[in-house]
Amino acid sequence: MEQLRLFFAMEIPEHIKEEIINLAKIGEKDVWRWTTKENLHITVVFIGYLAEEQLASVIEAGQKAVQNIQSFVLKCKEIGYGPDSNERMIWLRLETKDILNELKNELEKALLDKGINFQTDYKKFNPHVTLARLKFGADKPNRQIKKNYIREFPAEEVVLFNSSRKKGGTEYEPIQSFPLN
């Protein structure tokens, strides 16, 4: 029985990925482990490890959750340390939208209705894209990173991903897309 490591996320347009990587990668590059361009995304709900036999129920939950969610616009705000002032990650922060919170809540409710146990996050939802993580054992950087980055892009679907560790790093494989109305 194979274990999957699943999460629901929103993808980012390629031109935004290019811009944020180029903008964020300044100075002290040797202390950061940068997220590959292919892996940049906005996690909406992290499910965690599940048996492959539960995949059909997760897909059904995703289909149910998006039924009444309209497509919307996501707005990027800034590049800086995250979460909060923790200097262990570099994030692209997004403006929190009520509809994004509604989408998260609908996904969680649908998963629970299907009997799927997942890693509930009780902290306030803080939509972001993780651009880099501080390398293990590296000293925290000695300067602040904070850059305004105002861009908008359409959120038209949610994607269910499987995360697997490979020799070259983590790989995110899309399993199913769920178009928003």
Percent above pLDDT 70 for the chain: 94
| Whole-Å CA distances, 66 to 87, 114, 126 | 35, 15, 20
What's the structural domain count of the chain? Answer: 1
DSSP percent split of the chain into helix, strand, coil, nearest 5: 25, 45, 30
Residue 157: pLDDT above 90? yes
Q: How confident is the model at residue 176 (pLDDT cuts 50, 70, 90)?
A: very high
User: What is the DSSP secondary structure assignment for residue 164, as one 8-state letter?
Assistant: E
pLDDT of residue 142: 67
> Of 92, 169, 165, 89, which is closest to residue 132 (Cα–Cα)?
89
Residue 145: pLDDT above 60? yes
Residue 27: pLDDT above 70? no
User: What is the DSSP secondary structure assignment for residue 180, as one 8-state letter?
Assistant: -
Q: Which of 11-25, 43-57, 78-92 has the lowest mean pLDDT?
A: 78-92
Query: Higher model confidence: residue 64 or residue 86?
Result: 64
pLDDT of residue 57: 98
Residue written as token pair 């997942």: 118
Q: How confident is the model at residue 86 (pLDDT cuts 50, 70, 90)?
A: low
Query: pLDDT, tens digit, for every residue of 98-122?
Result: 999 999 999 999 999 999 998 777 6
Burial 125-157 (b: 16+ CB within 10 A, else e): eebbbbbbebeeeeeebeeebeeebebeeebee
Which CATH number goes with the domain that contains 172?
3.90.1140.10
Q: Which domain holds residue 21?
A: 3-179
Q: What is the distance of C-alpha 181 from the center of its chain?
A: 21
| Whole-Å CA distances, 165 to 27, 122, 173 | 28, 26, 11
- Report yes or no: 67 and 178 within 8 Å, Cβ to Cβ: no
pLDDT, mean of residues 53-79: 96
What is this structure's pTM? 0.91
Q: Is 29 helix (H, G, I), strand (E, B) or coil?
A: helix
pLDDT of residue 50: 96
What are φ and ψ of residue 26, in 5° steps?
Answer: -130, 130
Residue 20: pLDDT above 60? yes
Average pLDDT, the chain: 89
pLDDT of residue 70: 94
